[in-house]
Amino acid sequence: MNVTHKEAFSLLQNTDNILILTHRNPDGDAVGSMFGLFYALKEMGKNVRCIIDTVSDALSFPVTEEAFIEFEPDTVVTVDVADKKLLTEDTLEKYGDRVFLAIDHHEANKPFSEHLLLDYKASAACEVLFDMLTAAGRDISRECATALYLGISTDTGCFRYPNTSAHTLYAASVLVEKGVDNGEINRIVFETKSRAYVQFEALAMSSLRTYFDGKCAVIVLTQDMFRRTGVSEADTHGIAALPRQIEGVLAGIVVKEKKDGTYKISVRTNEPISAAEICEVFGGGGHRLAAGCDMAGRPQQVVNDILKVVGEALENI
Ligand SMILES: [Mn+2]
């Protein structure tokens, strides 16, 4: 059942022993919304724990060890999870059917919880949390604000994407007022690359091919590229943005070979192409301009299959 920001807050207020989960391959919004909520609940005197996958160095958020001590929760909450299939394998198995409250901002959200706080106009799950805490009249601490800022900043590409609304900027402004070191966060997240990463990026760019008169660009990442550079997969979220940066590209695709030999596809589009619609064909989903799906098969077949759908989308504009 859908709940308002205020209702979601009182649901949390009336529970304890809360476990927070987020999606696998955590991005900045997953990390930020998890720890933003962690701090907010802790400050309310709640017993709170988190379970999260490996996080890339740039997004590693200083949080007390206590957050990860195992316990038997009474209440399970998810943040930034559009579909329970996106939980990690372990948490899906253990908690997938007993999520009390899901807090999300994905238009393609597939409800799976008892209660759902969904605001797909929000740029980030962190913006939804900001609104929830504000609606409840809670003061936001510096720790909580820093986590929420991280999520908003990353999901808006540092306030550059069209999902950055006036309200997003207002939320960021309030968070900065609470003491967030925004310059430092953005320097680490957006302006810093390891040397290994730069090598990886060069390999990625050398795989780039364009199709449909340059309207579609595809990068293929192989396990070999990870091995050769020593870059971890968690550190390569940024690659997804590269193909769409080329002038004239309406659909930028990154095909990443996973360890098990299947592929994770990231699609970034410009209007009027919908990334979510392309990914839905393959059982995935996401936002209008940024979405993903999983595929299996031989690499060239995977690329051809996705190109066919992109081609149809381009023909319809
Ligand atoms: Mn998000």
Sign of CA dihedral 83, 87, 92, 95: negative
Q: How far is the CA of 119 from the centre of ligand 1 (A)?
A: 11
Ligand 1 ion: Cβ-proximal residues, 5 Å cutoff: 29, 80, 124-125, 155
What is the 151 CA–ligand 1 centroid distance (Å)?
7
Q: 89, 54 in Cβ contact below 8 A?
A: no
Torsion of CA 35, 40, 44, 48, to 10 degrees: -20
Q: Is 80 exceeded by the pLDDT of residue 58?
A: no
Tens of pLDDT, residues 84-97: 999 999 999 999 99
Cα distance between residue 104 and residue 120, in whole Å: 8
For the chain, what percent of residues have pLDDT higher than 90? 91
Question: How many angstroms is it from 300 CA to the middle of ligand 1?
Answer: 30
CA 238 to centroid of ligand 1, rounded, Å: 15
Q: What is the DSSP letter of 160?
A: T
Distance of CA 69 from the midpoint of ligand 1 (Å): 25
Distance in Å, CA 86 to ligand 1 centroid: 12
CB 303 within 8 A of CB 218: yes
- What are 259-317's pLDDT values in tens digits? 999 999 999 999 999 999 999 999 998 889 999 999 999 999 999 999 999 999 999 98
What is the CB neighbour count within 10 angstroms for residue 69?
9
Does residue 56 sit in helix, strand or coil? coil
Centre of ligand 1 to C-alpha 212, Å, is 30
What is the predicted pLDDT for the residue at 269? 97
d(CA 211, CA 207): 13
Distance 143 CA to ligand 1 centre (A): 19
- 167 CA from centroid of ligand 1 (Å): 16
Q: 74: CA distance to ligand 1 center in Å?
A: 25
Sorted by where each starts, the structural domains of the chain and their CATH numbers stand as 5-190 (3.90.1640.10), 196-315 (3.10.310.30)
CA of 155 to the centre of ligand 1 (A): 6
pLDDT (tens digit per residue) in 200-250: 999 999 999 999 999 999 999 999 999 999 998 888 888 999 999 999 999
pLDDT confidence of residue 140:
98
Residue 125 CA to ligand 1 center (angstroms) comes to 5
Q: How many residues are listed for the chain in this entry?
A: 317
Mean pLDDT score, 136-164: 96
Number of H helices, E strands in the chain: 11, 11
Q: What confidence category does residue 12 fall into, taking pLDDT thresholds of 50, 70 and 90?
A: very high
Which residue has tokens 């810093």?
A: 192
pTM: 0.88
| Cα(122) to centroid(ligand 1), Å | 9
Residue located via tokens 């394998």: 89
Q: How far, in Å, from the CA of 298 to the mean position of ligand 1?
A: 30
- At CA 199, angle to CA 195 and CA 205, rounded to 5? 140
**Which residues, in sequence order, are CB contacts of 254 under 8 Å at separation 6+?**
204, 218, 219, 220, 221, 239, 240, 242, 243, 265, 266
